[in-house]
Chain A
Amino acid sequence: MAKREKIEKLILFLILLAIGLFMVFPMVWMMLSSLKTTEEILGGSLTLLPSDPQWSNFPKALEMAPFLRFVWNSFFTASVIVIVQLFLSSLLAYALTQMEFKGRNTLFMIVLSTYMLPAAATYVPSYVIISRLGLMDSLAGIIVSNLANVFTIFLLRQNFLKVPKELIEAARADGASEWTILWKIVAPMSKNALINASILSFVLNFNNYLWPSLITNSEENYLISVGLNRFFNTQGAFEQTFPLIMAATVISVLPLLIIYFVLQKYFISAVSSSSGLKG
């Protein structure tokens, strides 16, 4: 019996290992390619390791376009979005879970129903709104248009529901205002959910491509995803710059990698808390 279980575990492990390698391979390939020459990448024979690591690819890539600026833009907008989004979503989630008012469930259903809209369907009206607000081609436009996130609201609501009702009542009897209860009781008790929501939202906004590419035109406002695309895919000399593309891409994922290693344990719970919800 125990032996059979061990074998089953081993098989499962091997399958997972294979899937894991399969998933991580493009990432490793990208990193190794960033140190190769064009010939090595596109030449006939497939090699894994660079024969002579081309570290100069990195400074060269940075010379071609202000990638550090793009990375900063992405980092900055994602950070501001996460902070404001968490603040606003906490307020709404608190009202939806702890306050009694007419139409509370209806409001939640309306909020949820927007989640079913395909993102592309909102582009045209959003575009009009951003342009009326005079926020076209600005980082502010990117930030404002991403402040509301149904998923964050949903995740926080589910977690705020887990705070025992008695604690809220105890705080009220202790004389605490709703504002104090939210920030001193509910939020600290939902710390993990807040961290999870910020990680998911940060990654989403850091990697955001299509919408920012629609509303930004000037180079100084490019996010990294937009910048990478504009500077390589749309240029003719695609082949010559292949290692540079890889180098630039490595630079672009570095902030996420660092965040991942620091917050590893939260990442795992963030992903599992969103599974079954993110399509």
Chain B
Amino acid sequence: MFVLGIIELKNVSKSFDNKTNVIDDLNLTIESGEFVVLLGPSGSGKSTILRMIAGLEPITKGDLFIKGKRQNDVPAKDRDIAMVFQNYALYPHMTVFDNIAFGLKVRKVNKGKIEEKVEKVAEMLGLTSYLKRKPKDLSGGQQQRVALGRAIVRDTDIFLMDEPLSNLDAKLRTTMREELVQLHRELSATTIFVTHDQTEAMTMADKIVVINEGKVQQIGTPAEIYNYPANLFVAGFIGSPAMNLLPLQENRSGFAFAGQMIQTPGFTTQPDGLILGIRPEDCKISGKGYPVKITFIEDLGADQYIHGISGGRKVVIRESPDKRFRIGQHTFFTMNPEKISWFDKKTGKRLEPADEPFTGDELRVYHG
């Protein structure tokens, strides 16, 4: 069955100066009820996309459809979208009650109904005893809840959230993350969540859209993005510590790394130079394999990350904490061949082994 997305961006471009495109020819379909995370480094244009959907930023080129209707020229106030801002954007002169009620008041909802709804939302967010306070008398977490309340009370089916957790401290951020996921489950509203924090993206998203320099790099579930990065940017951006990306030397008989020949599969397209990608957890220190000199050990309690130099390249290897290593030690490491990602050195794109045909149904990998 062909389902039209609740939000569709078709060939959308955005330029602030009519010269360079901050967003370049973007195509994105968001389905009803999804929790979609737009993930990218700062300046990647992810917030701009959100603001275009909200109607706060005009679209330079292309079309935006919400529920099948073109929205380019519909002002923000008529789009019936609820938005949560990074700095919460609470009205400082209004009480918590009035802040939450504002969206209903401007829509001329009758007073009794407003009271009923605000109280229900306040209860849901644990704000009941704060309704008469002003925003400045609340903690960061409470302010965040008010901002959410203002969005929830509107009963709209589209939520836009622009880095709503980035101003909270680490602990509160974890709690709010859970609460947001819980909330999404209860309300099942389509949510677009912008963040530069990959942990937020991995833990909350049904679907992650990785964005860099105004272009979609990859769209997929957190697992797809993590295990099958579509290009070098995604491979390097997702995961902490990042994936080891090791350029291979090409010689007459094949490809080599650190003086060792590496068995490469046949590829569907002929690569122009090869980069091997392997995550730290898929490497093991061993008596054989690729030589590595340990330069630094990061002990995190549950794991330890062994940083070293191999073949003139920095590598990171995750090891169990009970093993003992020392800085300066010369040893070897192996890689799990099944977990290796291959990238074309020239284009930076992921290469698919020819013998294991890649099934497009499972993965929606966008080669941007």
Contact = CB atoms under 8 A, between A and B. Distances in A.
B5 interface: no
Contact of B89 (A170, A176, A180, A188): A170
Nearest to B85: A166
Contact of A172 (B77, B87, B92, B150): B77
B83 A175 contact: no
Contact of B87 (A164, A174, A180): A164
Interface residues of A, number: 18
Contacts, number: 64
A107 B77 CA distance: 26
Contacts of B107: 175
B85 to A, nearest CB: 5
Interface string A183-201: 0110011010000000000
B93 interface: yes
B81 interface: yes
A178 to B, nearest CB: 9
Contacts of A176: 77, 102, 106
B20 to A, nearest CB: 20
Contacts of A164: 87, 89
Interface string A33-56: 000000000000000000000000
Interface centre among A172, A175, A177, A188 (most CB of B within 10 A): A175
A172 B56 contact: yes
Contacts of A166: 85-87, 89
B150 A174 contact: yes
B76 interface: yes
B93 A173 contact: no
A174 B92 contact: no
Chain B: interface size category: 20 to 34
Contacts of A172: 55-56, 75-77
Contact of B56 (A167, A169, A184, A188): A169
A189 B93 contact: yes
A88 interface: no
Chain A interface mostly helix, strand, loop or mixed? helix
Interface string B30-57: 0000000000000000000000001110
A170 B143 CA distance: 14
Contact of B103 (A169, A175, A177, A191): A175
Contact of B81 (A167, A173, A189, A191): A173
B61 to A, nearest CB: 18
B91 interface: yes
Interface string B80-99: 11110111010111000000
Given A164-B89, A180-B106, A189-B92, A175 B150 contact: no
B92 A169 contact: no
Given A164-B89, A170-B83, A173-B81, 13 more contacts: A164-B87, A166-B86, A167-B89, A169-B83, A169-B85, A169-B89, A172-B77, A174-B106, A175-B103, A175-B106, A175-B154, A189-B92, A191-B93
A-B pairs with the 9 shortest C-beta distances? A170-B89, A174-B103, A166-B89, A173-B83, A172-B76, A176-B106, A188-B93, A175-B77, A166-B85
18 contacts: A164-B87, A166-B89, A167-B91, A169-B76, A170-B89, A170-B150, A171-B102, A172-B55, A172-B75, A172-B76, A173-B56, A173-B76, A173-B79, A173-B83, A174-B106, A175-B77, A177-B106, A191-B93
